[in-house]
Amino acid sequence: MSSRVHDPGATGALLADTSQLPWYSLGEGIEFQLLRFCAVTGRWALYVRMQPGSRILPHKHLSSGEFFVTKGELLYDVGSAPAGVYGYEALGEIHEVARADVETEYLFIGHGPVAYPADDGTIAYVLDYEFLRRVADGDLEANVAREREAGTA
């Protein structure tokens, strides 16, 4: 294996060994590894791990996104996505429910930002490559998670 330090913002070819990358919190029971981001296009790639009972807050895609589940099962408005399932999320889609009842891992590729609304309907924050970079740099604490459902670990 190469001894090069992983730089998720590098331009050009890139290899990211997930067995060597740190995990960053997105809130209770949800972690990610930052595989890549591009400040020019706004695209970003994450490897996400959700613990049983973890749930993502309602959000709106301000760009499209794609995912591939590698372990467990992602449950959301569209249905069930168990291991081996690829999913596409279109520009403008709103998700009220996104959760994992079992430990779940997936690759997520964002083609731009995702908005998380406040209780009053305004935008509380926008998750984009800069948000994720700041979390990875330790400059920002993130919480896109709802409280876990009762009876889960």
Number of alpha carbons in the 13 Å side-chain half-sphere of residue 106: 29
* Integer Cα distance of 93 and 142 in angstroms: 22
Entry pTM = 0.89
- CB-based contacts of 83: which residues, under 8 Å, 6+ apart? 69, 70, 71, 72, 73
The full length of the chain comes to: 153
| pLDDT digit string (tens) for the chain, length 153 residues | 455 678 999 988 899 999 999 999 999 999 999 999 999 999 999 999 999 999 999 999 999 999 999 999 999 998 999 999 999 999 999 998 899 999 999 999 999 999 998 889 899 889 999 999 999 999 998 888 876 454 444
pLDDT at 153: 46
What are the structure tokens assigned to 94, written together?
């709103």
Residues paired with 92 in a beta bridge: none
CATH 2.60.40.10 assigned to 24-143: no
